[in-house]
Structures are given as C-alpha cells and as structure tokens.
Amino acid sequence: MTKLKTGIGRRSFIKSVSMAGSGLIIGFNWLACKREVENAGVEEEEYVELEMPEEWFELNGYLKVGENGVVTIYSPNPEIGQNVKTSMPMIVAEELDVDWNNVVVEQAPLNTDIFTRQLAGGSQSIRQGWEGLRMAGATARQMLLIAAAKQLEVSESELTVDKGIIKHKASDRTVNYGDIAKAASELEVPEEVELKKNDNFKIIGTSRKNVDGRKIVTGQPLYGLDVDRDDMLIAMIAQPAAFGMQFKSMNADKVKNMPGIVDVFTIDTYPEDMEKEWSDTAAFSKLAVIVGNTTWEVMQAKKALEVEYDLKPDLVKKIQILEKSAGMNDATGMESTDRHKSLMADIGAKKAEVVRRDGDPEKAFKNAAKVIERSYTCPFLAHNCMEPMNFFANVTDEKVELLGPIQTPEYAEKSINKRLGYKLEDIDIQMTRMGGGFGRRLYGHFLVEAAVISKKMGKPIKLVYSREDDMTNGVYRPAYHVTYRAALDENNNLTGFHVNAGGIPESPLFANRFPAGAVDNYLAESWALDTNISVGAFRAPRSNFIAGAEQSFLDELAEEMGQDPIQMRLDMLKRAENDPVGEKNDYDPSRYAVVLELVRDKSNWSDQSAGKARGVSAYYCHNSYVAQILDMSMDDNEPVIDKVTCAVDCGIVVNPDAAKNMVEGGTVDGIGHAMYSQMTFSEGIPQQENFDTYRLIRHSEAPKSIDVYFVENGIDPTGLGEPPFPPIMGALANALYKATGKRFYNQPFINELNSGTKTVKG
C-alpha cells in the first residue's frame, strides 16, 4: 500500500481551519506531498438536487464537509474543456471515500498559499496532482475515522467506511461524515496516511458526468463572455493591421460622440521598463482603446476610428539583416509567407547546429547503397478558440478584481503586480470555464490590458476581442520545416538516420525521441529563424508538426525497405529496448510497442481489403504513448474518413468517458489542422481574419467513427489532452498516400490534394 507523508506538523499541512456551525473545512497544499513507498462494477450516476448545509464557510481552496454529510471539493486547475473540474475532485473523493452523489464541485480561485501549479498546460494537471489530490482525500478520511473512533469508543481499526458512512460492524452502529465533522476538525493532522490500492478504487476508473454538463446545455453563465456586473463598461481594442507596425496616432474626436461611447484613448500594455513574465507574450503593446456601454456600440465606434501606424525601426533593421543574408530584396521588415518558405528552404539548414550524434552518420551516408531524403513543412496556425479572448477587471485604489478565462492565473497575478504595482495579496483572480484554450490562453496579455483599461477608467470593464482581433493578434503556432534522410545498405537495411529541423522562430526537434536509440548512426540538427510575428504554445507544442512528418517519413522508408510499416517500427523499438544506442533516449520502447501492437490488433491491420486506404502512426509526448490507424476512402477527390482506431497508454484513466472524449477531440482536431488550416501573410498582414477564409474541419469531414482503447497497466496517470493530437497527422498523410498514390509533404494537405499534380518528393 502506498504511504504518503502529509507534511511536518500541523502548521505545514493545515493552512486554515475555520468553523461554521458543524462544518469541517480542511485546507492543504494539494501538491506538496512526497512518495515514501512505491506501489505498483459502475453504479448508475444520477442527477440529484442536494440539500445544502445550513451554512457554508466560504474559503478559497478547501475541502468542506457540511453537517448533513454533503462535501464541497474545490477544483484548483483552470478548466478548458479537458474535464479536470470533474476528474481532479474525483481523485479527492476516491480517497475521502464519499458518495460521489453527495459531492459539490466548485472552481477554486487562484490561491498560491494553498495550491501549486494552478496551470492548464502541458497535459500535466492530473499527472502532477495525482499524489497530492489523493493525499488530501486520504488525510481527511483518516481524521474523520479517528473522530468516529473516539465518539463510538472503539478502536479505529474496527471501523470501515463506505460512501461517507462510517460503520462499527460489531455493534452495528454508524455515523456519517457530517456527524463528526466538527470533532474531526479539532484533531492533529496525521503525519502519514495510507492510500488505497488500485484494486479498491470505486470512483477512479469509472465514468462520471461532467459536473458542468447540465449548466452547459441549459445555457447557464459559465464563461468569461457571460460575466455581467452592475456599472460594467465594455472595452475593445484597435491593433495594427500588420506585424512589424506600431501605433502612431488616431482621430479619437470622430468617434467619442457616437452613441454609447464613453471614452477613446491609448494604452501601453507593457512599458519598456517593465519586467515581463514568459506569459506576457503579445503582438502589440501600444493599443487604441474604445470604451462604451454595449458591445455593439463599441464595435461600431471601432470600425469608424481612424488610426495611423508606422514601421517599428528595430524590426526593420532585424529583418533587413536576415533577408540580406538570404539574398532577398525589399527588406522592409514586413514579412510574407512566400519569403518564409524561401528562407526556411534556402538558409535554414545552413544555420543548423548538431544537437545529437550517435556513431558515424557521415560515414553511413557516404557508404550507403541508397539514400532516401524527404522534406516536410507546415504553416503558422491560429488557435481560434470558440470563445474569443476576454476578461473582466475592476481595479480600485485598494484592490484588483479579475474574472475570466486564463490558463496561467499565477503568472498573470505576477504580471499585474509588476504592471500596476499592487501587492499580490490585493490581486484577486477568479477563473471561469473556458471556451477553448489550446495554449492560446497561456498568454495573458488580454488580462493585463483589461486591468490597465479599468485602472484608467476607474470603472469595472469587460474587455472583448472580436474574432478578427483574436485571429490577427498573433501568438500563433510557428511555421516549421524538417528534412529527413535515411541511409540503406545493399540489402535495404537501415544504417543511418539524419533529421534537420527548424522553423520560424523555433525548431520542432526532439533529438532524443524515437527513432533515436534505435539506429547505430544517428544525427539530429536544429535551427531557427527570427520573426516579428508573435508565436506561442499550440496544442502539443512542436510535436504537433514533427510527429506527423516523422511518421510519414517512416512509412515511406518502410515501403523503400519492403517492410510492413508497423512491423518495421516494432523491430526498431525492440532494438531500442534490448540494445539501445545512446543514453538520453526519453521514451520507453516497451510501452511504445504496446500501443502499436494494440492498435494493430484492434483495427485488424492485416485486413488490407480493396477500397480501404489505411495509414498508421504512433508517437510519444507529454509522458504518454498513442498509436492510431486511419481508414479512408475517396469520393470525387474528397477524402472520406471512415474510421480511426486509437490505442493510448496514459497510465490509470480517472474518468473513462471523459478520457475517450479527449482522444476523440484531439483526433478530429489534428485531422482538421493538418488537412485544412493555415495562416498566411502578405507584407505583414494576416490573410485570414475570420472563418470565411480560415478553414476548419467540418462535421461532414470528421471520422464517421473513432474507436479508443486504453492500455491497462496500473501506472500513475500521465498526459492525455495533447498526446492524441500529433500522431493522427501522420496517419492521415499515410492514408492519403494509399488512397491517391501521392505523398503529402506540405500542410495543409488540401492544397496538394487539389493541385491536380503529383507531389514532388524531396
């Protein structure tokens, strides 16, 4: 059985204990525990209108037990659709041993005294919270058991607990948690608690409905755009139309007298002397702001506002140097997609630096009987959350109140501290549910903008981005380019592998991932080119391109070698497991192989029947392994995706239905972006501003069915929100090849599919 230290003494564990009637309120650092010992039938869920205790004592970040046995569990991490608001409290409730139907879940606000890593990003919420959340529930359960033993005058070992009811079997007496909440709150916290064995889980591993599901489908206010306060004004921004430009002047008088307009002014979100957090990434700092009574009135004034912009001199100089080295003219600092492609193809590889070298790759390629070389590219991408950026701010002389959708509240708090000078304890950030994140809301410039505007106005305001503001504001997925080479001997054996990867403005290379460790002679090189276009994390950063490119190349390599693509991968993984090359390989070959074998078997891979084009792909990222097989047919040159089979190893699955939903969503999302989406630029101006020009996947283009299978290995949970996204792009490209006879090297694939010409290799 796993034992965890709860902390050193009561003070280090209990941050605050307060009594309200008979309510027990336990505060704890959810993620501060340390592992001491390693430890290697679902009831129908009903919707129940719970009778609330007479008094709730409202404190941030606590587990509360009311006198009637109802439990409130606060979910600490931001909710962006990954369902942590359900799954994290499920983990606490499991160890607490409470009836899930008696649990009330609420979103915790930012509270750095109680929680750590209140962050939605990197698919790490469950992984990093796993032990701390379990400790929280187990410690509360233990204290309740001790209190019950004293009340019943029996030994604690004679008691059992199930669904919040403690029973003494010998005397057939019972008490519920509410009966002893007050007594339990007065106890010392145990120095050590025991966690359940996995076999004893009653809530973890069972499917539970989204705790916000009813509110979502009935339209109850949950999202940042739903926020409405008395005396609240609406604010919108006007930003430069092109990257590389900055605000110069505006004619505010023309719109100040328009209906509903309160004020028009400029702000500098991030003054040059401000120390910025990494999350303060922003395309434009100096902005024109329109404030008014309603969104419609502010939008009309924004359209009428005349703003003049000029070039940023420092960016002109930087781009001049870059373009001069590429032999290009018209060095204005205004970037275009054609130039990006030329820069990456012509000078990117020349700037490469060696990141990893195994064996003698140069000799392997020199002596090769055959060298296979292929290049792959992808464009910039916008996140395009269904809920555009927005935030509520009410800044007074005493405090800062902020409410809205943000993935990084802790960093945002620090940014407000540095920008406005308020003490951290005077900054209150409340989190709403988010209508999408995908990495876009890691960057909280819109929150800072809202606070600066509210401070200037002396009024509560809600900043709202239009779709056009959001899509043209940057923080895009970078553009990438990678070239793979493989050396084969006269018997078609793989003797050398070379990857040269880069992008604007970062490289997608993961030098120590597969097939590193499986090839004797291996070379990985990386490069990056500068840009004035702001970029940031996009669902499964860097993996979201390199996985598809790598898996496409491996399929083409398997064909050249005359091997089955799955078996070739399995053979390479067996080599990496039994006789690995190098010592820095960051994946587990055996777990990697298991998902490939599982997807092979579940999809009936050996059935390569006529009319079915099948593509396979597998990848490791965010500590998890995903393999996918995509079945496709063509209808008048349009791909029809009949089925996707997914095998996933993410350790213990907390909420199976929710986990399946995430895999399905990531699969559809990956297909859509690889097939249809792109951001292009002409002289710094984004060419896509709304969904009439930015192509997303449509309902009719999604897979007709998606089958999801999870590996059951009892390993502690790892990432899930991002891992299904990258590999499906490779499965799509490989299926397209089988369906059309053409290889697809450049995303979005729809461009090459509609080109009417055979794709050029290399």
Q: Pick the closest to residue 554 from 603, 513, 583 (CA basis).
A: 513
pTM score above 0.75: yes
Q: Pick the closest to residue 498 from 357, 383, 601 (CA basis).
A: 357
Per DSSP, what are the bridge partners of residue 233?
Answer: 461
- Calpha distance 249→238 (Å, rounded): 12
Instruction: Give residue 348's pLDDT.
Output: 74
Instruction: Give residue 760's pLDDT.
Output: 38
* Mean pLDDT on 369-378: 98
Instruction: Give residue 319's pLDDT.
Output: 44
- Secondary structure class of 676 (helix, strand, coil): helix
* Mean pLDDT on 633-641: 94
* Mean pLDDT on 547-572: 98
Query: In the numeric block, which tokens belong to residue 475?
Result: 């923080």
* Mean pLDDT on 313-338: 56
* Mean pLDDT on 458-473: 97
Question: In the β-sheet with 62-65, what is the strand arrangement from edge to edge?
Answer: 24-27, 62-65, 71-75, 103-107
Per-position DSSP letters for 559-591, written without gaps between them: HHHT--HHHHHHHHHHHHHHS-SSS---S-HHH
Residues constituting the chain: 762
Instruction: Give residue 349's pLDDT.
Output: 74
Query: In the numeric block, which tokens belong to residue 621?
Result: 């990222």
pLDDT greater than 50 at residue 239: yes
Helix residue ranges, H only, 603-655: none
* Mean pLDDT on 310-330: 51
Task: Classify residue 173 by burial, with Cβ atoms within 10 Å: 0-12, 13-18, 19+.
Answer: middle
The CA-based dihedral angle spanning residues 116, 117, 120, 122, taken in that order and rounded to the nearest 10 degrees: -150
Question: Does domain 3-217 fall into CATH 3.40.50.620?
Answer: no
Q: Count of CB atoms within 10 A of residue 612's CB?
A: 15
How far lies 441's CA from each of 271, 390, 538, 602, 631, in Å?
A: 21, 10, 10, 37, 34
* Mean pLDDT on 608-627: 92
Sign of torsion, CA 430 435 436 441?
A: negative
pLDDT greater than 70 at residue 711: yes
Residue 374 pLDDT class (50, 70, 90 cuts): very high
Query: In the numeric block, which tokens belong to residue 68?
Result: 């009637």
Residue 390, amino acid: N
- Secondary structure class of 223 (helix, strand, coil): strand
Query: In the numeric block, which tokens belong to residue 338?
Result: 């054609």
Residue 351 pLDDT class (50, 70, 90 cuts): confident
Q: Count of CB atoms within 10 A of residue 405's CB?
A: 30
- Calpha distance 375→383 (Å, rounded): 25
Inter-residue contact 331 to 319 (CB < 8 Å): yes
Instruction: Give residue 116's pLDDT.
Output: 77
pLDDT greater than 90 at residue 483: yes
Sign of torsion, CA 24 25 31 32?
A: negative
Instruction: Give residue 48's pLDDT.
Output: 53
Residue 396, amino acid: T
Instruction: Give residue 60's pLDDT.
Output: 27
Instruction: Give residue 25's pLDDT.
Output: 54
Inter-residue contact 60 to 30 (CB < 8 Å): no
Sign of torsion, CA 138 141 143 145?
A: negative
Q: In the chain, what are the domain boundaries?
A: 3-217, 224-312+389-464, 346-363+476-753
- Secondary structure class of 25 (helix, strand, coil): strand
Lowest mean pLDDT among 109-113, 412-416, 456-460: 109-113
- Calpha distance 695→255 (Å, rounded): 34
Instruction: Give residue 191's pLDDT.
Output: 85
Residue 178 pLDDT class (50, 70, 90 cuts): confident
- Calpha distance 628→641 (Å, rounded): 13
Instruction: Give residue 35's pLDDT.
Output: 38
Give the tens place of pLDDT for each residue, 144-168. Answer: 999 999 999 999 999 999 999 999 9
* Mean pLDDT on 343-360: 90
Give the tens place of pLDDT for each residue, 489-532. Answer: 999 999 999 999 999 999 999 999 999 999 999 999 999 999 98
Instruction: Give residue 4's pLDDT.
Output: 65
- Secondary structure class of 152 (helix, strand, coil): helix
Q: Report the percent of the chain where pLDDT is more than 70.
A: 88
Residue 637, amino acid: N
How far lies 5's CA from each of 35, 62, 76, 188, 493, in Å?
A: 7, 19, 21, 14, 53
Look over the chain and give the mean of its residue pLDDT values, rounded to a whole number.
89
Per-position DSSP letters for 487-539, written without gaps between them: EE-TT--EEEEEEEEEEESS----TTSTTTTS-SEEEEEEEE---SS-B---S
Backbone phi and psi for residue 158, each to the nearest 5 degrees, phi listed first: -85, -5
Task: Classify residue 125 by burial, with Cβ atoms within 10 Å: 0-12, 13-18, 19+.
Answer: buried
Inter-residue contact 305 to 256 (CB < 8 Å): no
- Secondary structure class of 707 (helix, strand, coil): strand
Query: Residue 137 carries which DSSP code?
Result: H
Residue 522, amino acid: Y
367-402 as b/e: b if 16+ CB within 10 A:
ebeeebebbbbbbbbbbbbebbbbbbbbbeeeebbb
Instruction: Give residue 756's pLDDT.
Output: 60
Q: Report the percent of the chain where pLDDT is more than 90.
A: 78
Inter-residue contact 464 to 225 (CB < 8 Å): yes
The strand pair at 233-238 and 461-464 is best described as parallel
Backbone phi and psi for residue 647, each to the nearest 5 degrees, phi listed first: -120, 130
Instruction: Give residue 51's pLDDT.
Output: 59
Query: In the numeric block, which tokens belong to residue 473?
Result: 């504001």
User: Which residues, including other chains, have CB under 8 Å from residue 353's CB and lie 6 or more apart?
Assistant: 525, 526, 527
Using the structure block, give the residue that is written with the tokens 């398997």.
558
CATH code given to domain 224-312+389-464:
3.30.365.10
Q: Given this chain, do its domains 3-217 and 346-363+476-753 carry the same CATH topology?
A: yes
Q: Count of CB atoms within 10 A of residue 8's CB?
A: 9
Fold annotation for 346-363+476-753: Aldehyde Oxidoreductase; domain 4 (3.30.365)
409-426 as b/e: b if 16+ CB within 10 A:
bbbbbbbbbbbbebeeee
Residue 485, amino acid: R
The strand pair at 103-107 and 71-75 is best described as parallel
pLDDT greater than 80 at residue 667: yes
Is 119 or 15 the better-scoring residue by pLDDT?
119
- Secondary structure class of 485 (helix, strand, coil): strand
pLDDT greater than 60 at residue 613: yes
pLDDT greater than 80 at residue 312: no
Q: What is the CA radius of gyration of the chain?
A: 28
- Secondary structure class of 439 (helix, strand, coil): coil
